[in-house]
Structure 1
């Protein structure tokens, strides 16, 4: 497959996802006009702020050909550490949570790269350890704080739709996108994910690439949990229980391959928005949690099929039809 054909295929896949997002917005707006109200769009972006931040970090490990199963547990630990260690300063508590995330991400990366252990095995262990740590921090109860000022600042509406929390998430996407697109390290991460042995032979910093993606995965998860705990003025050990699966779904729907080497933060942004819009819209029209999960599964399966052999077959047939008409 030529580079030109690949770029066309990627553009086509991106346009397909963008069309799906627009179609979802139009369908839900027609079904229930309250969907496009300022209040609901604000709630939608608040949900995106959590899912998008976690999916962004997780997707980087996927692009590098690895996987971080511990992001959901890190969300819970990040929120709890912010409140427990914060004391009189929630900002200080956030600093503790982020420093802890750097430590956990670094340990994960070192064990994976130095000892050649599967990231699935390592991060399953991290997930269980972090989950136990979260329950120990919580002590079997919900941790709360009387400091509401920072939460109000994070959640105050901006232009009726956004908040500081959602804008921080969007800014993080932009910064990571610039890093991945314009830096040598970003190129190394993609090469490590697609051709690990070739990357090592060509001088790419495999160990450093894995260190960066696992640290960023842990930090973004902890940041998401920290901001959520400030917004809710509370934190629990069970927070983020389903976030890992949702984040994986968002990354895959956006076009990040499980095999590694493909996908960008912009794709993850699009996938996160698709899932957030779909979940919000279905909830607004009265669909229950079971129906929403079923619809998520169908969309995920459809995207995977279109990205695979079915999509290639459709593209080939369309190319043949265009060639026939032009002849």
Structure 2
């Protein structure tokens, strides 16, 4: 009971949504709980989850990486260009490129004191142009179908190697944030950077780590989805920034920094994936789908604010009565 009292209203809301959203669609559509549809839902989790995970880390340290969507597209194109003989080499090249760009983003914030919104906006534009230059304005095919079959092979109905990679990334970062000094420094950096520096926290390392993860995870997501789709495209990441940011906020990550739990981010991604999957099954138009997504997100944001504190206090008083 004492552990449950540590939850706030937004935590209960998050759990309620992850139960209610699939339950509603399961009642409306007989296909929602089919193995094929649930596998497709998890495949979407694998893509958005990696991008949201890296973006969330930059939000935890009080910054924001606008370049993740463009990085997804460039990561896919690098895979298609360099992974002709070996998918492993293509993925490695994409991840290294994403890592380098992430470190550059961090360097701009740390050394030049440039706002991450400004610097990553510039990097986003540069990456977009770089992607169109690589592709020469066209879609780049990738003919390693064996790699695609292996990457998306179903494991126990709901999993695949691509999904397992995303789950593994969530698990590793969960351990880092919960049990290491670096994890504590990440939260301290986002809470109050100057005070964190004065107290001995390595804020520079925290920023480098967050942006490096953001860049490399986005590039990895792009490379993996390009293998699955057998193509790379400069427009591959369109819409992913909004999805990733929405999933992070649904997961309780604060735009002000210093707040965010890895398992809640995973829940946020799953809520968004289930919602969009169910709406797609029902044939809902993109405009209505955006409206519903925005309404859910707005409600969660409100619940994460002062209303959450008010409801939480009421719940504690009721429990202690």
Report the Cα distance in structure 2 between the residues aligned to 1:151 and 1:91, rounded to whole angstroms. Answer: 12
Q: What corresponds to 2:209 in structure 1?
A: 212
Q: What corresponds to 1:86 in structure 2?
A: 83
Report the Cα distance in structure 2 between the residues aligned to 1:20 and 1:87, rounded to whole angstroms. Answer: 43
Q: What corresponds to 1:67 in structure 2?
A: 64
Q: Deviations over 1:122-164 (max 9, x none)?
A: 1001100000000001101100022111111011111112111
Q: What corresponds to 1:125 in structure 2?
A: 122
Written as runs of structure 1 = structure 2, the 5 A alignment for 1:2-21 is 8=5, 10=7, 12-21=9-18
For the pair 1:295 / 2:285, whether they are aligned, the reply is: no
Report the Cα distance in structure 2 between the residues aligned to 1:220 and 1:36, rounded to whole angstroms. Answer: 29
Q: Deviations over 1:156-178 (max 9, x none)?
A: 11111211111111111001111
| SS class of match (1:286) | coil
Q: 1:9 to 1:121 in 2, by over 3 A?
A: farther
For the pair 1:137 / 2:123, whether they are aligned, the reply is: no
Q: What corresponds to 1:249 in structure 2?
A: 246
Report the Cα distance in structure 2 between the residues aligned to 1:189 and 1:182, rounded to whole angstroms. Answer: 12
Q: What corresponds to 1:183 in structure 2?
A: 180
Moved more, 11-20 or 42-51: 11-20
| SS class of match (1:36) | coil
TM-fit CA distance, 1:8: 3.9
Aligned-residue CA RMSD (Å): 1.5
Written as runs of structure 1 = structure 2, the 5 A alignment for 1:240-279 is 240-279=237-276
Q: What corresponds to 1:31 in structure 2?
A: 28
Report the Cα distance in structure 1 between the residues aligned to 2:253 and 2:14, rounded to whole angstroms. Answer: 12
TM-fit CA distance, 1:11: 5.0
TM-fit CA distance, 1:212: 0.5
TM-fit CA distance, 1:321: 5.1
Report the Cα distance in structure 2 between the residues aligned to 1:267 and 1:322, rounded to whole angstroms. Answer: 24
TM-fit CA distance, 1:322: 5.4
TM-fit CA distance, 1:320: 4.8
User: Does the 8 Å contact 2:48/2:244 carry over to 1?
Assistant: yes
For the pair 1:171 / 2:195, whether they are aligned, the reply is: no
Q: Which runs of 5+ in 2 are unaligned?
A: none
Report the Cα distance in structure 1 between the residues aligned to 2:36 and 2:167, rounded to whole angstroms. Answer: 19
Q: What corresponds to 1:238 in structure 2?
A: 235
User: Does the 8 Å contact 2:84/2:144 carry over to 1?
Assistant: no
| SS class of match (2:159) | coil
Q: 1:322 to 1:85 in 2, by over 3 A?
A: closer
TM-fit CA distance, 1:311: 1.9
Q: What corresponds to 1:201 in structure 2?
A: 198
TM-score, normalised relative to structure 2? 0.96
Q: What corresponds to 1:224 in structure 2?
A: 221
TM-fit CA distance, 1:9: 5.3
For the pair 1:51 / 2:48, whether they are aligned, the reply is: yes
| SS class of match (2:120) | helix
- Of 148, 161, 171, which residue of structure 2 is paired with 1:151? 148
